[in-house]
Structure 1
Amino acid sequence: MNKIQINTKLNFCYSIFLLFFFINLLLSFSEAKGGGGSTGGAGTGFGSGSVSGVISSGNNNGGGDNKNSEPFFKYVNGKRVCTSLCVVIFLILSFVVTTPTYESTNPAPDPTHEYGKKHEATNTSLRDAESFSNKYPPNENLPTPEEIENIVIQDGYKAWIFKPEDILTKRTSISNDGITVELYKRKLGSKYDDMMIQTNFPFFTPEIHNPEEEILHYFEITLLNKVSKDYTVAIGISTKPYPYFRLPGWNKHSVGYHSDDGRKFWNDEFGGRNYGPEWGKLGDVIGCGYKPKTGEVFFTKNGKFLGIAFAGLRHIWYPTIGSDGYVKMKINFGDEPFVYKEALGFGIGAPGKVKTNEK
């Protein structure tokens, strides 16, 4: 659950608790001033007048049951006790506080780090990203089935290329075939250190004819240079639009695996969670996989499965890479055999059964 979701729920609960407190205070004050005496009289002043239809009119010689009741309390043997409505409100508040939101249903028990191991984004970047997410919700629409079919038939996996936003053209270099991508350090005068780029198309999920059939979306990057220890490279998935100045995993609706600390990130503006080894050596091959049936996201390093990072995540996802410094990499969307053997035959949207010998 991100900070905005937590604050919203807490503010709602605080408001309800304050309202409940003041009602209780009002009723207690009313009872004290006009609750009646030993003769069962109606009392005087505030208790019997302005709120006579709400509070009890007395306690019948201090011992009998009073059948009059309030919205939140009733009187038994002269004592005010909680009514069913009071219990219902308590249960509702408990539900609001404890029930996870759609995207917080993540089974991973790993502790969250407050700070990154080596790299931290600025507060300006965080504020701007939150504003961006509030202004531009994710686009959850796929192209029509006819358009998807034309894309896949005409170009296959070559149809997918990383396409930077216009503001990043001076910080990126992409070969004509889309296979080689270079990301550069921030230029003088730029506002942000971090940057990310997404593919032109999202994962396409082909039609599933067999209920037992499961789809795997997968891609890999191969580092063509050694990443400086001062920089962070990230691979993952995100929705579109996504703030170009945030690495995948750092912002709402995104997942990332970062090179500087080997941590996994999901909607995480803090320090991420322990996951896999650090990476960034020349020749490192890092893969990212997504299973739409279960919403599972996983990563690989040099052909080794690193485990399920997160589960239950369902959006229209775009392959995403990012960095805060120079990196050169080779992209493989499935045109060439993957280093991770379990993904052979898959790619950005290839149908087929997922092999189950991942351990």
Structure 2
Amino acid sequence: MKILVTGAAGFIGMHTAARLLARGDEVVGVDNLNDYYDVSLKEARLAQLAPDPRFAFHRIDIADRYAMERLFASERPQRVIHLAAQAGVRYSLKNPHAYVDANLKGFMNILEGCRDHAVEHLVYASTSSVYGSNTTRPFSEHQNVDHPVSLYAATKKANELMAHAYSHLFRIPTTGLRFFTVYGPWGRPDMALFLFTRAMLEGRPISIFNHGKMVRDFTYVDDIVEGVLRVVDKPATPSAAYDPASPDPATSDAPYRVFNIGNSQPTPLMEYIVALEKASGIEAKKEFLPMQPGDVPATSADTSELDAWVGFKPDTPVDVGVARFYAWYMAHYGRQPA
């Protein structure tokens, strides 16, 4: 197939594009290469994809309506995997307009492109952050997600609502994937594992929020990509279980689906750090700090709906995934600061 992957220079985007190319698909990659973090890392990711003749890259900002219209008209992808976004909970407190531009305007342009060019299936990244202040775990797609605690989460919830409207009005199959704390090689420098590794190699203390009382459903990037590929191959369909008299958030009479993708093995942050200490042979100096605004103390994914839909459940153990990340970091950066 010919598949458009937005955010192709990003962490998950690069891995997804590589897997699509490896199985024989043609990939149209889009990214604006902004400076939210080190552009050279994004360029290095793209360099992993560039040698494949079936990969075509366009440097475009998805918020640029006319550039996106031209892209859809010229490339005419059969399916779209939309991973481009302004990410990060904490940064949304500092630069909220970036989230409106990328996550709302950008997503609108993706939806219109799919509408105008009869795209067979749109798969897009949502986030576990949509569960917000919910304390009932594991998080399930059947739960209400109307209480986000960050603007980032609110924009991702908005994406799910926008997608549903287009699925209902124009019968475009859309599937949202709520990613749970993705980590692994080529990860973003603002992610905890990257920050911890860099600080430990430099002999600096690592910042541990909520005084270490954090639990995350850490999900290895290869598991995320496997889920994305299986889902893109199975377009959303209306749910036979949908009852308009008692609407369930996980069902719809439109060709619309939303799934959790998480490891379903919630891990205390301190155990995650121990896995990095073992992989690196370095004992971390620890600075315990209060909870940050917009953050939540724990996440945990119920992935039974995803398993029932595509027969897949992420299962990479944290110690294995962390060791792979550390090996990549040392190969890519050595002991030099990133």
Same fold (TM over 0.5): no
Place the TM-score, normalised by the shorter chain, in its bin: under 0.3
More strand by percentage:
1
More helix by percentage:
2
What TM-score does the superposition give when structure 2 sets the normalisation length? 0.23
What TM-score does the superposition give when structure 1 sets the normalisation length? 0.22
In our comparison, the structure showing a higher alpha carbon Rg is: 1
